Structure 1
Amino acid sequence: MFVRNGTSVLKKVLTCAPTYLDEAAPINEISKKYQGQHLDKGKLLDEYQQLLDAYAKADIQVEQLTPQPSMTNSVFARDFGGCVREGYILGNFKEPLRYSEHSEYEEKMKQLGIPKLFEVKKGLFEGGDFAFLRENIIAVGIIERTNMEGFAELREGLEPLGYELYPVPADSRYLHLDMCFNLVDDNLAVAYEEGLPTAFKVLLKKLGIEIIKVPEEAIFNHGCNLESLGNHRVLSLKQNKDVNKALREHGMDVIELDITETLKAGGGPHCMTFPLKRV
């Protein structure tokens, strides 16, 4: 078994250092604000090390993809696909900037001995839109980088394995589902509720999932881009003061990362982490 759900104990992850992330490419609403600005390489590497240190302290094994000059945004490892109990699904990037990551991540997963269940080829699918709600229930964002054609391929490949998939359309400015919604504990999520479709909110209520609500501007400050470690632990950003306070009030152990430079490229801790094993 590889990844059982989105909130059980995280044991192993795949990441990639931001070695070649020199500037924020204008490929999402956040990075557009920093277009043309060179990023501080020292800060980027320090922030990545913070993530590695947090995982080491939590006894989570880290596998690393070797950075390549052609893969400037590969630090956002989440996006190449999705991982379930039986293996992984290889996605299909929308932005040409990320095309070269496809084969590199595929080869790395082969080296790690994780089987590829299938590949999304006709439509678009990126891992930031892939969210477990329960062990057999998966939400898929239909926002900016995943489309309904990609969703149809996911459903065709995963339903025979016993999974239920639900599309979650939202404003394209939100980029990925993990920017506006994230499950942080079995029955607790952080989300911009007003930006989620009614059918999805009905599903969350049916499943008994409580939402810590954030304003829309929190999306663009990575207020929802959190990584559940299991056992009521969550990685968040130091700047997420209100979110972190609310999480602690709900009994969560919040591990704060002082990450700011990496965010300028459009992703946070959840984007930087591809889960390989949750038990």
Structure 2
Amino acid sequence: MYVKDGVSTLHRVLLSPPDFLEAAPINEIAVKWQDTSLDKKLMAEEFKSVVDAYHKAGVETEFLESDKKRPNSVFARDFGGCVREGYILGRFRLDMRRKEHDDYKKKMESMGIPCIAEVKDGIFEGGDFVFLRENLIALGMADRTNAKGAEEVKQALEKYGYEVISVPLKREYLHMDMCFNLVDENLAVTYYDGLPDDFKKLLAKLDIDIIDVPEEAIYLHGCNLEALGDHRVLSLARNHEVNEALLRHGMDVIELPVTEILKAGGGPHCMTFPLERG
């Protein structure tokens, strides 16, 4: 088994260093920093803090080496999604990220993790891949996953017993993990008013409690958290209100001193591709 769901105990992840990362104007956050050179030394320190946090939490880390021809590969989440049987290889919308497709595919092959499906006609990025339950997956459709890509994922996973639902979102939210994340079995952090009514009804049916954040928190990575299992979650040190709410819900919050990497448009969840969870 590779990945059972989105919130059980995380055992192994795939990461990539931000050595060549810049704030390319490809999302609402990075546009604000496009004329700024990101501090490479600071980003290296921040990346180390993420790796150290995983090791302290007992999570094994694998790495795809950095490459100047794929500067955004630090956001490892986006090349696909992982389930019990193996992984789904996505298809990037932007040309500047296409090399990640091939290099992550080779990395997964080198680790012996099978590719059980590949999106070839539509667009699908892993930031839109969200487990709600062990056999229930939500696919966000904002800026980087389209209806054709979502349908390809749905058809590929149905034969393994998964139900896959599509969740239309505002284009500016980029990926679903920027505006919604399940952090424990029955707890999610989200901008609630930004979710479609049908999805809200499903969350209520599943008895998922909501930590609601304002819309501007999306662009500050207030929702971009990584569940570690056992009521533990990685968050940003600057997410004061969210972290306090998580603590009130009984979560163990591990705060990360990450600010510079965020300027390119991704946070802890974006940086993490889960390889083993369960």
User: If the length of structure 1 is used for normalisation, what is the TM-score?
Assistant: 0.99
1:15 lines up with 2:22 in the alignment: no
3-state SS of the aligned residue for 2:210?
A: strand
1:158 — aligned with what?
A: 157
Q: How do residues 131-150 of structure 1 correspond to structure 2 at under 5 angstroms?
A: 131-150=130-149
- 2:9 is matched by which residue type in structure 1? V
Aligned-residue offset at 1:15:
0.2
Deviation readout 1:70-92 (Å, 9 max, x if unpaired): 01000000000000000000000
1:3 — aligned with what?
A: 3
Task: Give the distance between the partners of 2:66 and 2:35, measured in 1 at CA.
Answer: 22
3-state SS of the aligned residue for 1:205?
A: helix
1:278 lines up with 2:273 in the alignment: no
**Misfit runs of 4+, over 4 Å:** none
1:67 — aligned with what?
A: 66
What number of residue pairs does the alignment pair up? 278
Deviation readout 1:45-80 (Å, 9 max, x if unpaired): 001000000001011000000111101000000000
Aligned-residue offset at 1:207:
0.7
3-state SS of the aligned residue for 1:53?
A: helix
Task: Give the distance between the partners of 2:87 and 2:273, measured in 1 at CA.
Answer: 11
Task: Give the distance between the partners of 1:215 and 1:87, measured in 2 at CA.
Answer: 35
1:215 lines up with 2:214 in the alignment: yes
Deviation readout 1:134-156 (Å, 9 max, x if unpaired): 00000000000000000110011
Kindly, what percent of the aligned residue pairs are identical? 60
Task: Give the distance between the partners of 2:64 and 2:35, measured in 1 at CA.
Answer: 26
Deviation readout 1:149-191 (Å, 9 max, x if unpaired): 0011001100011000111111100000000000000000000
Task: Give the distance between the partners of 1:189 and 1:200, measured in 2 at CA.
Answer: 13
Q: Which 5+ residue runs of structure 1 have no aligned equivalent? A: none
CA RMSD of aligned residues (A): 0.5
Task: Give the distance between the partners of 1:211 and 1:166, measured in 2 at CA.
Answer: 19
Task: Give the distance between the partners of 1:186 and 1:163, measured in 2 at CA.
Answer: 17
1:168 — aligned with what?
A: 167
3-state SS of the aligned residue for 2:33?
A: coil
Aligned-residue offset at 1:36:
2.2
Q: How do residues 1-279 of structure 1 correspond to structure 2 at under 5 angstroms?
A: 1-21=1-21, 23-279=22-278
3-state SS of the aligned residue for 1:229?
A: strand
Task: Give the distance between the partners of 1:228 and 1:31, measured in 2 at CA.
Answer: 25
3-state SS of the aligned residue for 1:114?
A: coil
